[in-house]
């Protein structure tokens, strides 16, 4: 891991649950001995924001005192905005690593697409900053974060202790919600093909008008043992390496062969 | 292309610029002879929304009369919400194809990640609905949409005239902003590695407080002639097949080999 000249590595931390969530506090606690930590995170919940950026309105940013001696800023933007602001306006350089989370709830399989946690990490990766998103399979703010904290420390130490594998390194780490001693290990996986069977709960407001709430049942169509869903079901921590080149090369070849557009 | 029983194929149309934009009107005009068109689109601009979904608040949806005899609904949600609402609450089935756009502005290269236009198309693709996002390289609402309309008609006709290649078929189509006769052809491409060199314009509001506007310069690092950026620079329409499995299989092998997490 490249260090800043004559100084500690800079660890940028963000999330999508908002800067006051227990998850980001646990992430800070887990890695604060490994470098100079700087927190830049949203001032309100941004779950499900995907890779949203704020282009039509201005952003606000304020320094806050939430993590003792650790420098921390809250912004009115999305998780992706936070990474952009951190690099351009706070650090004035790229951090050595960017960590996002710990998200309250799973971001395995197709959730990587919807996840604000992962999109912040992806933004850093596009910028050439090695980056990791962490999620715990427990939505509750009261969840025991101690096992996740240990796992985070282990993974970040390992990644930071060796030469940069890939400047676009991007990992999606999900942690099962079980006691530490029940975690069987850390497994490198592929993203499972799974999706939500969605439906909207239709209701009537006090003015007699219809409104809709999104609900959905998670369905895993992927029976492989090499997927993140399988790993988590079997009490492994799942690590999925993620890329931002979305080209479907198989379909590209097929289309070229078909001469459909000639 | 699978047709609905004893009837025309259903073409779902959405966008991210909002239901009143000239781009979606051009898209409707371009394909209305090819099946039963139903429009479900946001009631306000949603550019840069990425794959955002609305989970923390309810959604509204109203039928509108904007396209003559064509059924149209506007919703308070994101482009992805529109696709979900269309399937569950309007069509009560999957459409035969989903088209998104025509976006006012480019969605080539890394823009696929930030684009609301493409995330709507991706949502449909995840659901097993063949899907295409269209973007014109001209931000202006006054842009001449006629060449784009012809290209859209050509591409959608071709895709619908043959058996379903892939139920998750997802194409990112960008159209250069030149007269029709200057368009050299349609080229199947890969996503260029390009990004924005971002900076924030820092200003002071009337109350004396700082605020920030995102600005950025587009930079293409990909010198290949097989990329969408190259195609567009050379007056080709670019077609990039897109996937939603974000696993980086190269890095996965590398990590497995390294035994870093053993």
ipTM of model: 0.90
CA distance B66 to B68: 6
Distance of CA A162 to CAs A2, A34, A155, A156, A169, Å?
9, 13, 12, 10, 13
DSSP structure string for A174-227: EE-SS-GGG--EEEE-BPP-EEEEEEEEEEE-TTS-EEEEEEEEEEE----TTB
Task: Please report the pLDDT score of residue B227 as a whole number.
Answer: 97
Report the SS3 class of residue A5. Answer: coil
Residues in B touching A54 (Cβ below 8 Å) = 48, 214
Q: Which of residues 215-254 of A touch B (CB under 8 A)?
A: 239-249, 251-252, 254
The residue length of chain A stands at: 262
Q: Tell me the chain A residues in contact with residue B242 when contact means C-beta distances shorter than 8 Å.
A: 246-248
What domains are defined for chain B? 10-192+224-258 (3.40.1210.10)
For residue B148, CA distances in Å to B17, B37, B181 come to: 16, 18, 12
What does the pLDDT look like over A50-62, one tens digit per residue?
777 777 788 999 9
> Are A200 and B88 in contact (CB < 8 Å)?
yes
Q: Which residue of A has its CA nearest to B240?
A: A247
Note the pLDDT of residue B5: 46
Note the pLDDT of residue A46: 77
Select from A189, A214, A254 the Cβ nearest to the Cβ of B84. A214
Render pLDDT for A5-53 as a digit per residue (tens, 0 to 9): 457 999 999 999 999 999 999 999 999 999 999 999 999 887 767 777 7
Q: Which of A241, A137, A136, A237 is nearest to A185 (CA)?
A: A237
Q: Over 80: is that where the pLDDT of B74 sits?
A: yes
Q: Which of A172-186, B11-25, B211-225 has the lowest mean pLDDT?
A: B211-225
Q: What is residue B38's predicted lDDT score, i.e. its pLDDT?
A: 98
Report the sign of the C-alpha dihedral through residues A229, A15, B196, B136, in that order.
Answer: positive
Contact by Cβ (8 Å): A169, A129: no
Give which of A173, A178, A126 is closest to A154, Cα–Cα: A173
Chain B from 171 to 200: CB within 8 A of any A CB:
185-191, 193, 195, 198-200
β-pair partners for B98 = B12, B131
Give the distance, in angstroms, between the CA of residue A229 and the centroid of all CA atoms in the same chain. 16
- Cα gap B210→A83, rounded to integer Å: 18
């Amino acid at each position: 891991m490249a260090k800043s000249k004559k100084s500690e590595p800079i660890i940028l931390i963000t999330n999508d649950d908002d800067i006051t969530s227990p998850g980001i506090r646990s992430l800070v606690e887990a890695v604060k001995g490994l470098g100079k930590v700087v927190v830049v995170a949203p001032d309100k919940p941004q779950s499900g924001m995907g890779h949203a950026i704020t282009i039509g309105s201005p952003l606000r940013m304020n320094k806050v005192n939430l993590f003792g001696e650790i420098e921390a800023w809250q912004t009115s933007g999305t998780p992706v905005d936070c990474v952009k602001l951190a690099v351009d306006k706070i650090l004035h350089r790229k951090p050595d690593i960017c960590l996002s989370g710990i998200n309250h709830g799973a971001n395995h399989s197709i959730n990587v697409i919807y996840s604000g946690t992962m999109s912040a990490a992806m933004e850093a990766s596009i910028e050439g900053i090695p980056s990791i998103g962490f999620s715990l399979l427990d939505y509750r703010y009261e969840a025991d974060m101690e096992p996740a904290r240990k796992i985070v420390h282990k993974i970040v130490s390992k990644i930071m202790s060796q030469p940069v594998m890939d400047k676009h390194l991007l990992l999606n780490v999900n942690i099962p919600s079980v006691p530490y001693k029940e975690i069987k290990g850390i497994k490198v996986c592929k993203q499972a093909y799974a999706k939500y069977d969605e439906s909207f709960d239709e209701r009537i407001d006090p003015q007699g008008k219809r409104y809709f709430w999104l609900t959905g049942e998670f369905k895993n169509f992927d029976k492989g043992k090499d997927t993140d869903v399988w790993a988590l079901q079997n009490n492994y921590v799942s690590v999925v390496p993620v890329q931002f080149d979305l080209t479907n090369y198989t379909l590209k070849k097929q289309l070229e062969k078909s001469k459909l557009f000639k």
